[in-house]
Structures are given as structure tokens and as C-alpha cells.
Structure 1
């Protein structure tokens, strides 16, 4: 079988890191002047040198986004089905070593949660679980998709990586999109943050989008957890990963998300304590990254979650973002079944979907409640 990691092996982390921070203003200007940009141009646009060019980057990003996506912003909501997890991840409240009460929704509870989300206006859903193959493996996911298809036109998921035949089985049930974040592309740092569980296998996770591409999934979502490592270098590797996938599985659609590390709650001696992280990127950095992705790839969908503050999300709405979550609950049963259960991470933007839709309209855009790719395919 073809080595799926050729794209990854062609790039050395330390070399990319050095090149990014050695970028000159002239290289940034050359990248901005081009009509089609390369990975080297992306490297220049995420560099510290590009911070002085943020205004022209933002203007061009706005222009390119409107040309491709028009004045529309897609809204989505996650539905957490379980906080069971067999992995230890240092940044996640669902980590195996966090002694929280574990919860997996039953069929009736899934229906109740689905009805609540549907009443918010959504026509598609993102199902999310921890990574526990025995509890929330393929049989559970297959059943959940069947249940959710009664309520939603399109079902996406963000769960543990699976094998290609398992993805094919779920796609046949109506699975449309899979989000799988590498967390960080730096292998040593990855090992430090994932010491136990199937997720500790760096290469298996890295190869997941290829398995999805071969399985024929409609859309793949990529991303790095911004704050685990140098965000610029991780973002370069995410862009290189995206380029590899687009060239190999050209019929598949792609999205990139920007999950910044958020505080999590830990249970210690029956007391909940908050854990924060100190390597997070600034708001200005994230604006730069969003614009750099749009200048690099005019077709990719760019998504921003409720991890971000209302002020920030309102500000970047016109700069390249094409989808926003709203009214999100990051705990199993969070909408109606058990609202007070422990969240996976802290939410910053607690506005309702209706409030978010009104914000979008006030900025001259139209909120979209269903998957636009599915709509276009049916035309």
C-alpha cells in the first residue's frame, strides 16, 4: 500500500519552525501579491513578520470568502452522547484519570436531546463522544446515527478514529462528515499529552483522514489543538495535511477548525478544580491564522466554536469564517437530560442560536441551518 505519510515525512518540524520565524517582510509581500499561494506562502503568512500586514490580509480574506461562500454563515451544534474515555489526555476533562461520573446516553435520552436541538432550528447535528470502543464503539454509533436521521437531514461526528471498513459501514447509515483533530503534529509533544490509550498511537491518528478519504466520506474536518505546541508550526503541518488530502481525495470536501485550549474542570478529592493553560495564542494571532488559511485555500470551510468569546466571534465573522457553533453544550445530556453534568471544556460564548443568528443578520449575512454542500449536490 502507498505510504500515506509521505507528505508528513517531507517536512521536518525544526526546519519549518526555523523558516517561519526567519521569514522577512519581503517574503510576506510576495505571498500577498500572488493569486495562487503555495505552502511556502502560507508559511510566510503565519509568520511573525506577517503581523504588520494584518489589515491587507483581512481585507483580502473577506473578499475571497464572499466570492466563494457569499454572505452566508452556517450554524451547527454538537450533541455529546458520552463522556466515557479510555485515553489519558492532559487537556481534556473526559480523560480516563479524571475521576468524574461517566455517562452514556440511552436511546430515549438521545431522542430527547435530538428533539431539543431540533427545536433550536438545526437541521444537521454533530455527534461527539469520548474514545471508548467497548462502550461507544461502532454498534453504538451506528444505532445513534439511525436515531438521529429521524430528526436531522445530515449527521456528522467527532469520535475516536476508526478503520476504513468501519467508516464505510457508518457512511452507509448516513454519516456525512467526520472531524478528526491531530491535536499536535509534533510527535514528542503528542506523546507527552497522550500517555495512555489507543490515542497514544500518533501514526494511526495521523492516517485517519486517509482512511476516511478511501471510504468515500463527504467531508473531513482537520485541526490542531492550538496551545499544545508552537501554533505556527502546527498550523503549517495542518495546511500540508489539507493539501495532501485535497490532491489525493479530490471529491471530498474539507474544513479546518481552530480549537484553542480552554480551561477544564478536574475532580480531585470530590472537589472540582479548574485547570488552565498558559501557551494559548492571542486573539490577534488567531485572526492572522484565519486570514492565512483563507488566502492559502479559497475553497476550505473555516469553523469557529463557542470556545471563543462573543466579542471575538463577532469581530472575525467577516474575515473568513464560514461556520459557527451556537448554543453548544459540551456534556452528555447537556441540553435537557442532565444539564449540570461535567463539560468537556469551558464555553465562552453562551448566546442562543437565535441570538447568534440575529448577530449574523445585523452584519449583513444570512444564517444557514442546514448543510450547504448537501443542498448544492441535490440541485
Structure 2
């Protein structure tokens, strides 16, 4: 089956042929690839293709250890926290795995007013959040972009005491180049869009109608975003719709395409698995379920292959799986999430999918600290223009760690002073005391200590 006209740069036949005719690599070859990976320069996509076929438990354990080493060497023990903000569950698509699908007549629909958006932000800020992912269904028609920009303006302008949202990432329907230019002018962080599945026949089957049914327009959204000047983009796969091995190989083709055309791949990769959603029968029985072992392999391979790319794990996963994923290369997590419009200040509207982790942000942070990771609300790179190629220029020689850890410490200190429970404050301050000693540059370490003292006295938003 050749579908190049419909599938663009995703070469299905090449992937089919590889999966059908390639045997798993020998131990010596796996060890050689992992040794190469530990040089922190990434591995070739051809090497990733070989690791993808590894099924041996002992070799998988070596892959996991390598992913953990790479993540710690590049980013240290920090985990960035954010919350999704759903502003509308109106949708014209009929995605068979999603609770927002247009044919779901049982779902209570809602689009937040700007005042309601502000109420949601007040609730999130009062919990300690500094970063949000703005999410909307595809049902607002021609006014969607205008509404999104008004929401962004409202979010940035809403303050609660010492708190505010400092970075807004956006997950909305694909736009034209002109639309993406307007989104960039609104000062977003990352534009995020999931292909869901790169497998064309499956894509058409699970997106039977609506704007999203256009595979190629959806696939090329990141091209238009880059052309519009947005240099931080996030991609993702909804695992469970098709064979995960095909999906990873197709994702590599997508990354290769972006690097060839624009000199830059995605800033983040999200790895959600299908979770049950009311009104979406397929979500209860995914056609290609991904086991926990396979899921861990996916995360580890992505960290090894694209070591400087953020890997995002949502509250779809259980606390137990999230704990395991931290050591495999995950660098960003959501916390205290709701997937329905108004979910932080009320619970009237229907949700997109079920959550696996229902803990509060403070409970998540306490758990993260117990595991030896430092929670981060850092927005320094984004606000100082260290994005896109500028970010990679710092990341690849290992310099980004000089900013990540100090910014994690200062933003976490803000959380401890302003929002944390007594138990979290105690364990958090002990963690900060230990982490300061891990800052390799003496002057930056000294400046971090001074920033912490200033934060204790009431100053905020001090970053490197």
C-alpha cells in the first residue's frame, strides 16, 4: 500500500518493510549503541530503530539506566510542573477515543467566559502554579483564535498576591501561517499539537469527520508554526491507537523532516496513553494497548534519541507509573489536573478523559521531593529568549544545566514560602540545601543563595 500523496513525509512502506524484515539486535550491538548514547550527543535514528526491537529484559534494563544517566547529566534532578487549563469542550470533530467528540450527546458542553477563565487562573495560582497549558476543543468556529488570544491576555493579567502565570503553552487546532503569527504575537510559550496516530488508515478510521479528519493538514501544522516564527513546538502520540513501534518510527520521520526543513526539531514530546472517556467506547478497549513495560521503553528511547527534548507525562498515568517514568527521562509533568472547562473553580462541564493521578499539586510535590527530584516552575529560558536554536546551542554543550537547576531552586523556594504545606516545606527546604551544592559554577551558586535570601524577604521572580 503506497499512500505518499496523502501521508506526505511519513513513509509508511519504509516502516512496514523495516518492521517485517528486521531482527532484534545482538547484545554487543545494543551495548555499543548505549555507549554512544552516553556521550550525550544523541544517537542516529537508525540506532533508535534497532533499540526499538529490543525485547530482552536485561537489555531493556540497560536502556532504562542509560536514559536515566542522560536525563540527569543534561537537566539534573529537576521536574517542571504545569497544569492544563481547558477553556472549552465544544468540538466539531468526532474522534472516537475522545469524550469531547461531537456525537457525544451526554456530555455537558461549556465555553468559559473571560471572567470564568480568570477565576480558573486565580484557583491555579492560589495552588502555586506558574505555568499552564491552554486547551480547547475545535468547536468555536472562526472566532476561535480571537477567543484564544483574549484568554491568553486574561491569564497573563490575573494576579493573586505574589502569584501569577508566567508561561502559557497552547494546545489548539492547527492554524494557517497568518494565524500562527497572531498566536506568536500573543506571547505564547510552546505550541503543542498531537498527531495522535501517524498511521494513515488508522487516523482516518478514528477521525471519521470534522476538520481534524484531514491527516495532511494536521501533520503539517508544525511546518506552518515554524514559518510563522514559533520556534518552540510540541508533538505527541496517543499510544494505543496503533502499533507503538510504527508510531515511534513515524515520529522519527516527522522529527527528521522538521530538522531538515527548519534546522530544529520539537521542543517537547508528549507520551499519553488512551484513558477511558465517557461517550467514547474505543477508549475503554484500545485496539493496540501499550503495556507498562512497553511504555517505559518508549520514554527511555525518546530520551536517548533526542536527549535535549522535553518529555511530558500527564496525570493520565497513575502515581506509581509516574514515579517510575521520572527515572526514564520524563522532564515535565502536570499536577493537580482537571480536563473539563471550569474544573478548578467548579465541576459543571464534562471532562475529556479520566485521570490516573488525582492528587493535589502539594501531594505531588511532596512525593517528587521524597524521590530526590526538585520541582521546578522555571520560565527563565522562555522569558530571556533562550528558545528554539538558542536553547539548543546551550543544551548541546551541557550549559543549560547551569540555568535549569538554579531556576528550579528559586522557583521552588517561592512555592515553599507562599503555598506549601508544613510537611512539604520541611522536606523541600532540606532538598534545596542539598541541591545548592550540586550547582557546578561557584558564582552562580553564590548568586542562588542570595536569591533565596531575597525570596525569604518577599521578593519574587528572580531568575537566571
TM-score normalised by length of structure 2: 0.75
Distance 1:266 1:292, change over 3 A: same
Structure 1 residue 109 and structure 2 residue 116: aligned?
A: yes
Divergent runs of 4+, >6 A: none
Query: Would you say 1:180 and 2:193 are equivalent positions?
Result: yes
Determine the C-alpha separation between the residues in 1 that align with 2:255 and 2:381: 18
**Which 5+ residue runs of structure 1 have no aligned equivalent?**
none
RMSD of aligned alpha carbons: 2.4
CA distance in 2 between partners of 1:113 and 1:31 (Å)? 47
Q: Secondary structure at the match of 1:227?
A: coil
2:270 pairs with 1:257: yes
Distance 2:294 2:265 in 1: 29
SS of the counterpart of 2:212?
helix
CA distance 1:155–1:11, change in 2 (3 Å): farther
The 8 Å contact of residues 9 and 254 in structure 2, kept in 1 or not, is answered as yes
Could you tell me which residue of structure 2 aligns to residue 161 of structure 1? 174
CA contact (8 A) 1:161 1:208 kept: yes
Which whole-Å CA distance do the structure 1 matches of 2:250 and 2:110 have between them? 35
Query: Which digits, 9 at most, give the CA deviation of each residue in 1:140-196, with x for residues without a partner?
Result: 111111111114211111111111110111110111211111111111111000110
User: What is the aligned residue count?
Assistant: 371
Based on CA coordinates, which of the two structures has the bigger radius of gyration? 2
1:217–1:252 contact (8 Å) kept in structure 2: no
- The alpha carbon displacement at 1:33 in A equals 3.5
Secondary structure of 2:94's partner? coil
Higher helix share goes to which structure?
2
Contact 2:84/2:134 (<8 A) preserved: yes
- Whether the aligned pair in 1 keeps the contact of 2:235 and 2:266 (CA below 8 Å) is no
- Matches of 1:274 and 1:195, distance apart in 2: 15
More moved, 285-294 vs 51-60: 51-60
| Cross-structure match for 1:77 | 83
Q: Does 1:306 align with 2:315?
A: yes
- Partners of 1:377 and 1:274 lie apart in 2 by 40
Aligned match of 1:121:
128
Q: Tell me what 1:24 maps to.
A: 25
Structure 1 residue 23, shift from structure 2 partner? 2.5
Residue in 2 aligned with 1:40? 46
Q: Highest relative contact order (Cα 8 Å, sep 6+), 1 or 2?
A: 1
Secondary structure at the residue paired with 1:127?
Answer: strand
Change (3 A) 1:126 1:71: same
Aligned-partner Cα distance in 2 for 1:198–1:10: 23
* Structure 2 runs not aligned, ≥5 long: 159-164, 387-463
| Whole-angstrom CA distance in 1 between matches of 2:284 and 2:297 | 27
Matched position secondary structure for 1:302: strand
Secondary structure in structure 2 of the residue aligned to 1:355 = helix
Q: Secondary structure at the match of 1:245?
A: helix
Deviation at 1:66, TM superposition (A): 1.1
- 1:32·1:57 contact (CA, 8 Å) conserved in 2? yes
Q: CA deviation at 1:247?
A: 4.2
Query: Does the alignment pair 1:360 with 2:360?
Result: no
Q: Say if 2:338 is the partner of 1:329.
A: yes
Secondary structure of the corresponding residue to residue 143 of structure 1: helix
Selected match of 1:148 from 151, 155, 173: 155
The residue aligned with 1:343 is 351
* SS across alignment from 1:79: strand
Deviation sequence 1:83-116 (CA, Å, 0-9, x none):
0000110100000111122110001100000111
| Structure-to-structure mapping, 1:210-359, within 5 angstroms | 210-250=223-263, 254-266=267-279, 275-277=284-286, 279-336=288-345, 338-359=346-367
The equivalent of 1:14 in structure 2 is: 16
> What are the Cα deviations for residues 299-326 of structure 1, in whole angstroms up to 9, with x where unaligned?
1111100000101101221221100101
SS in 2 for 1:49: coil
Shift of 1:213: 1.2
Q: Residues 23 and 251 (structure 1 numbering): CA distance in 2 closer, same or farther, change over 3 Å?
A: closer
Give deviations 1:279-306, integer Å, cap 9, x for gaps.
2201111111111111111111111000
Aligned-pair CA distance for 1:48: 4.1
| TM-score normalized with structure 1 length | 0.91
* Structure-2 change in CA distance of 1:348 and 1:124 (3 Å): same
